[in-house]
Amino acid sequence: MWRKYGLGDLAMVLALLMLTDCAGTHQTALHEDSATPPTAQQAPETDTHPKQAKAAKDATASANDRPSHLPKSVYEKKLQFFGLLRPIVETENAHILKQRHRLLQLQRKDSLSRAELHELRRLAARYRVKMPQTPDRAFWTTMLKRIDIIPMELVLAQAANESAWGTSRFARKGNNFFGEWCFSKGCGIVPARRDDGAIHEVEAFDSPRESVDSYIHNLNTLDAYSSLRDLRYHLRKAHRPLKASLLAIGLAQYSERGHAYVRSIRTFIRVNRDAMHATTGSDTAGSDS
């Protein structure tokens, strides 16, 4: 179980991790109904957005720049997967940065109008934060911890791992790229190997965009990922980049594998970084200035 860090612990962890990047042993995640490698027929379903189609085309064109040890077909499939998801992540992160900028504008005001308080209350409800009658320091801190981006590399790494590069049954039939569960009958796809008495299903989404939105929102709101948000907040305060391999240590509760899962995600990022950045687009974290 991932423990919560105090301020002193966080400073120590950040200092150590900025000096050395821990490299774990790469482990291939096992995914239900997805043991085969990705093929053209098994590519993830996507929104037919022109920007995404262009990204996929440009990504495939970049295959000539692949590392020499990878077969062309494998590298092309990696580029296709990253190229299809990247525009979606960029759009979602841009929206979150816009919300964060507005939050900072409101925080800097000496007093808020009735309309501004209503706007702030709606934003707080969206991020599952209870807003006091008069916003105080603790409220603003909690909001700033929750309303922030998830680095592109971290999103792509988890998507590839949790969906077996988009070939899992849940990705192909339910646009679920992150293994998210739901708990009402008919809300998703029933796992073939679900334990007796279990009621969960793997949530089904209408599009990959909805899956990405839900995943980022969960990391930004659920108690299980408070450590990730704390690390991200202190990186912001220190004017440091939001490095995916650092924030990955806040994902110990994402999987039953715990810290082994964190190591596998960190290794995945390191091994696949070139392919992630061979796709078009930029990963701008933004600043609070």
Q: Where do the H-state alpha helices sit in the chain?
A: 7-19, 50-61, 72-107, 114-126, 137-146, 152-163, 169-174, 208-221, 226-237, 244-247, 259-278
Is residue 28 included in any domain, yes or no?
no
CA nearest to 232, candidates 255, 214, 248: 248
**170 pLDDT exceeds 50?**
yes
- What value does the mean pLDDT of the chain take? 79
pLDDT at 286: 67
- Can you tell me whether residue 45 is helix, strand or coil? coil
The domain containing residue 150 runs over which residues?
Answer: 46-278
**11 pLDDT exceeds 50?**
no
Q: How many domains does the chain have?
A: 1
Q: Mean pLDDT across the stretch 184-201? A: 76
Is residue 287 included in any domain, yes or no?
no
Q: What is the DSSP letter of 70?
A: S
CA nearest to 232, candidates 172, 154, 126: 154
Is residue 16 included in any domain, yes or no?
no
At 288, the pLDDT band (50, 70, 90 cuts) reads confident
pLDDT at 278: 84
pLDDT at 268: 97
- Measuring CA to CA, how many Å separate 171 from each of 81, 203, 212, 274? 12, 10, 12, 24
pLDDT at 60: 37
Is residue 31 included in any domain, yes or no?
no
Is residue 110 included in any domain, yes or no?
yes
Per-residue pLDDT tens over the stretch 99-116:
999 999 999 999 999 999
**41 pLDDT exceeds 80?**
no
Q: What is the DSSP letter of 203?
A: E
**192 pLDDT exceeds 80?**
no
pLDDT at 199: 72
Is residue 181 included in any domain, yes or no?
yes
Per-residue pLDDT tens over the stretch 114-158:
999 999 999 999 999 999 999 999 999 999 999 999 999 999 999
- What's the one-letter identity of residue 107? Q
Is residue 3 included in any domain, yes or no?
no
φ, ψ of residue 202 to 5 degrees: the values are -90, 120
Per-residue pLDDT tens over the stretch 46-57:
333 444 444 444
Q: Are 246 and 5 contacting, i.e. CB atoms less than 8 angstroms apart? A: no
Is residue 50 included in any domain, yes or no?
yes
For residue 188, give the H/E element and its range.
strand 188-189
pLDDT at 200: 84
